[in-house]
């Protein structure tokens, strides 16, 4: 609140300034000089806000994910059925809006596999956990409303695992997958089982 912007804000600003760069290129092909140039700051300044290059990708994923979550939250609120709500959730894997996030998350996955450190693994763990909680809550509401059967809750982990699988398969395979189709089929199939028949 002093003269200008907070350290956190600047971190965000720098990261966002490089978004395009990381969307378009592999992080291993991007140099700190390019980043400095793109962000319009000195090379040394980057290190005031980030520990290293990977840290920028990290921040970028965090920012875009938070943004995405806000949008998701809104959509979930507007969705009527539990199935619709869940579907909103899996849109990440194919919708245009999440395209940048997907690209950068792919880089983040690469970094995570390449040199998994505590900070990164904790973040990933946390992410998974939060999303799971969120979907859990949605499901619980569905159960409460009698829309889906209670056993649904046990399937949530599996659904995420499935999502991760399809994401990776798509990234490293030439197989052309219509992810939207695939995901929707999957969810429809699941819900066919989860919905109380009477």
* Cα 133 to Cα 104: distance, rounded to the nearest angstrom: 24
Phi-psi region of 146 (alpha: psi -120 to 50; beta: other; left: phi over 0): left
Footprint of DNA on residues 10-29 (CB under 7 A)? 10
Sites for its own copies among residues 95-114 (CB under 8 A): 106-107, 109-110, 112-114
**Is residue 2 involved in binding its own copies (CB under 8 A)?**
no
Distances, alpha carbon 53 to alpha carbons 12, 43, 71, 107, 125, in Å: 14, 11, 28, 12, 21
Tokens of 48: 């005031």
DSSP H stretches of helix in 91-148: 99-114, 118-144
CA distance 147 to 113: 39
Question: What are phi and psi for residue 6, nearest 5 degrees?
Answer: -75, 160
Binding partner selected for residue 31 from its own copies, DNA, none, CB under the kind-specific 5 to 8 Å limit: DNA
186 binds, among DNA, its own copies, none (CB under 5 to 8 A by kind): its own copies
Give yes or no for residue 145 binding its own copies (CB under 8 A): no
Of 2-10, 63-71, 86-94, 100-108, which part binds DNA (CB under 7 A)?
Answer: 2-10
Report the C-alpha gap between 189 and 182 in whole angstroms. Answer: 11
User: Among 16, 23, 32, 153, which residue sits at the site for DNA (rule: CB under 7 A)?
Assistant: 32
36 binds DNA (CB under 7 A): yes
Q: Which residues pair with 195 in a beta bridge?
A: 148
Which of residues 165, 178, 180, 181 is near its own copies by CB under 8 A?
165
Q: x/- site string to DNA, residues 40 to 79, per CB under 7 A?
A: xxxxxx-xx---xx--------------------------
148 beta partners: 195
CB of 186 vs its own copies, minimal distance in Å: 6
- Contacts of 46-52 with CB under 8 Å at 24 or more apart are 46/14, 49/7, 49/10, 49/11, 49/14, 50/11, 50/14
Applying CB under 7 A, the residues found at the interface with DNA are: 1-3, 7, 10, 30-33, 36, 40-45, 47-48, 52-53
Site residues (vs its own copies, CB under 8 A): 26, 28, 106-107, 109-110, 112-116, 118, 120-122, 124-125, 128-129, 157-158, 160-166, 168-169, 171-175, 182, 186, 193
């Amino acid at each position: 609140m002093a003269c200008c912007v907070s350290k956190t804000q600047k971190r965000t600003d720098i990261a966002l300034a490089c978004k395009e760069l990381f969307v378009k290129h592999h992080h291993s092909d991007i140099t700190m000089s390019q980043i400095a140039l793109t962000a319009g700051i000195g090379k040394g300044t980057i290190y005031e806000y980030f520990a290293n290059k990977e840290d920028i990708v990290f921040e970028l994923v965090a920012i875009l994910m938070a943004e995405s979550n806000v949008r998701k939250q809104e959509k979930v609120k507007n969705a009527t059925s539990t199935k619709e709500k869940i579907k909103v959730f899996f849109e990440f894997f194919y919708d245009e809006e999440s395209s940048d996030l997907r690209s950068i998350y792919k880089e983040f996955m690469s970094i995570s596999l390449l040199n998994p450190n505590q900070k990164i693994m904790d973040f990933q763990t946390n992410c998974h956990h939060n999303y799971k909680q969120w979907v859990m809550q949605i499901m619980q509401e569905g159960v409460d409303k009698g829309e889906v059967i209670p056993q649904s809750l046990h399937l949530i982990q599996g659904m995420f695992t499935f999502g991760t699988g399809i994401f990776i398969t798509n990234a490293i395979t030439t197989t052309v997958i219509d992810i939207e189709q695939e995901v929707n089929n999957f969810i429809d199939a699941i819900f066919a089982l989860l919905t109380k028949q009477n």
